[in-house]
Structure 1
Amino acid sequence: MTEEHDPARTARVLWRDGPKPATRTRLSADTIVASAIAVADAEGLAGVSMQRIAEVLGYTAMGLYRHVANKATLVAAMTDTAYGAAPAPRRADGWRAEIESWATELWRVYQAHPWLVEVPTRSAPIGPNELAWFEALARPLAELDAAGLDVIGVATFLSSAVRDLARIALELDADQTAHAEVLAEHLDGKRFPTLSRLFGHAGPADDTADLGPALQHGLHLLLDGIELRLPTGKEPENHD
């Protein structure tokens, strides 16, 4: 049974602005979330439960519920905390560099906390860190007024692309040798002429588990397309 997702109650934990439970212990939402992140980093999201975190902290699960309503709220708080501070503006480098830096930093977050790609998306961002990350991406896009962009749509696509490529990179077997041997045996050039040519050139055993280059290539193509919609020779205005 899926736990109820209450955005208002979850937001109170994410922003730490709810009433503080009267307690004589050092247990708090911050200590619970930090311990849960440590468990997830070591064991994956499947290793996180209210009972497991209670054991790590030396309390009962009931003690945790006084600070965090349920696991769904805990995972939401873990997610927002794990993202950390959003990249600072880099206006001097131009809008493209700012977006490319944003994508690179987000990729690093997923490498540091692989379990983040397993977290189900239940709503638009409501936590301070996730909102700050989305703001950091939307800001340079919103300044491209002349391009007539759907800023929310493009930002959502970009953030989703980084997340999904990170997920695929984590799921792929590190050793692709066996897969390459199977493809070499069954990839018929007549039936699959394009794939046969492409794999024959790049080699399917190449470092396919590292999709960072694929992310950069796709990002550059998208930004090239956006740039083509701008008036020639003009940079977006700084609205600060």
Structure 2
Amino acid sequence: MCSLSAGARRDGSSGFALWPTLRARQHLYLPGPHRGLFNPQGARNTDEVLLTESVIDAAALWSLGLRNVMPIYGTNGFTDEMVSHLQECRIKQTVLIMDSDEAGRAAASEIKARLGEVNISARSVELPAKDAAEFVASGESLERARVLLAEPEATPIAQEEQPRIETASDGTISFSFDTRQYRIRGLTPSGLDRLKVNVRLSAGQAFHLDTLDLYQARARAQFAQSAARLCRVEERKVAADLMEIIE
């Protein structure tokens, strides 16, 4: 049996039973509601906490050298007391290390939503084992665990190239943004000649044509909204294109 750690209320315990003939392991909890915290100090003096599905999993990772770890009490054992403790410790993000099965994935999804309500971010990590205890028992190292639990580096958002600008002999100016082409009538190479211009956006075979005052934010917004619907492009991109054109 594993009792609660020092500093927590000792009104809940857990453990697991082994049936060698069945080669199975089952986590057991005392009857009644889950109360108390295991390793509450794991959430102190850190921005990130590792949450495991069981006490045994948390103890296994702790033995490996990961001190910022706390367990929930089974897939349905994420309690209000745990949420309050994470808030009191001003935790910013959590890593959910649930069992690598459908029940564990479902629990992770529910916990993410619940933590999101109190502005604590959460991400899931599946270890290459049934659970954290099995991962440690297989002989994995602390370094290996840290690599697997590390947050992946964000992929830089590709920035679109500057628009290609072409001017026709009749004064029509064309702006090309990726797959979006704008034909502007009423502009001159030196800048805006008039406020009201004729704008035609083409995206593939679809297009949207309108006359608008590019200096008016409402007119640009209406054009972007209509163009997004008719040409199946992102409204925010059309709005950004128009700002680039008038600048």
With structure 1 as the length reference, what TM-score do the two structures score?
0.30
More strand by share: 2
Structure (1/2) with the larger helix percentage: 1
- The structure whose RCO (Cα within 8 Å, separation 6+) is larger is 1
Choose 1 or 2 for highest CA Rg.
2
